[in-house]
Structure 1
């Protein structure tokens, strides 16, 4: 006798709740990334980003302003020319090793700028023989207008100044050949000004090298030979 409570084999099982089961889907779901949790930006990181952005903007604006000023003013470095040199009372000794003399220099200083005035606040002149300092002196300050040429005189005196014995002998040899070469440096603190605009003070360096002073035989006086000499200028 057949048991009615057991399902017949070979047939699908009857639904448990009276409804047929849902159909199985063959659709493949790819890997699904769940949304990441939202973390608000840190206040400190935001501050630094804004700070650096503002700093870069300030540098850009400052650079543009400098470029505009340069294009408008077109600043140029002054030029220096040695017009004449007079050496008097040159005397050397080997015991002790000393040098004495008076050097008088006459310079022409030109301001080539059309819109900039130049102010020379502090000026110092130095005299060298073969890279050895012989004398130095402070010069009076002055100022220049635009497109102006100003004369500047410098007198350098050596009174029994020490000079190495080897250099004293070389100076004597040069003098016996008829000429001695000296170097002059001019150091100055300068300012450029145009109307209400003023630039910060700058250090101006002038190099006048190989100034040949010619002597006649057995004379203690000499003068610049070869005509005026243009100096190199750095700022």
Structure 2
């Protein structure tokens, strides 16, 4: 008689635990079945019309980047709610720009353009400063990079996720020609960016 309430309580907890476990396993199985592929980012073109480092370490820049974003999935819609593009030169961040949010259907390719214009003090090491001068003489600057910091939602059928942050999309080692004085510049080589495990979220990819 004295053990029935306790046994009933145990049964309730066991039932709740079992239901939670079944839900988690079902969700995991569901995600494995749809097996989403990472969104693909490619820098298709990049150019500089100004990239001048003054004696007081101030970088004056006009940097344009064209990017394609490809959702290769048959059954997932991606909602880009926050898009921040960050420009780097030899590990120095020098420009930030927010791009217009958009929705991307399945098997869809979207074209983005990020334009960085302004000036910023950067600290180059002695070796990096020498590399900058060599690049300026040749007319092609190396070690430029663009990162994309995103906030997205994903939709499969009627299920829509909460907003999450995918791993930072990294477009590194860009060789960008400097266009000046009407001189023709060598063509830019299309560069694939690293997007990590896009749908796993940033914490899971760390």
Alignment of 1:69-218 (within 5 A): 69-94=30-55, 96-159=56-119, 161-166=120-125, 167-181=128-142, 182-204=144-166, 205-215=168-178
1:46: how far off?
Answer: 5.9
Partners of 1:41 and 1:193 in 2: CA distance: 48
Are the structure 2 counterparts of residues 55 and 41 from structure 1 closer, same or farther at C-alpha, using a change threshold of 3 Å?
same
TM-score (norm 2): 0.81
1:221: how far off?
Answer: 8.0
1:58: how far off?
Answer: 2.4
Query: Structure 2: any 5+ residue segments left out of the alignment?
Result: 199-206
The structure where helix makes up a greater share of residues is 2
User: Contact (CA 8 Å) 2:170, 2:194: kept in 1 or not?
Assistant: yes
1:77: how far off?
Answer: 1.8
Partner secondary structure for residue 165 of structure 2: strand
Query: Structure 1: any 5+ residue segments left out of the alignment?
Result: 1-38
Partner secondary structure for residue 202 of structure 1: coil
Range moving further from structure 2, 175-184 or 141-150: 175-184
- Kindly tell me the number of residue pairs found equivalent between the two proteins: 193
Q: Which has the higher contact order (CA 8 A, sep 6+)?
A: 2
Pick the aligned partner of 1:63 from 24, 36, 44.
Answer: 24
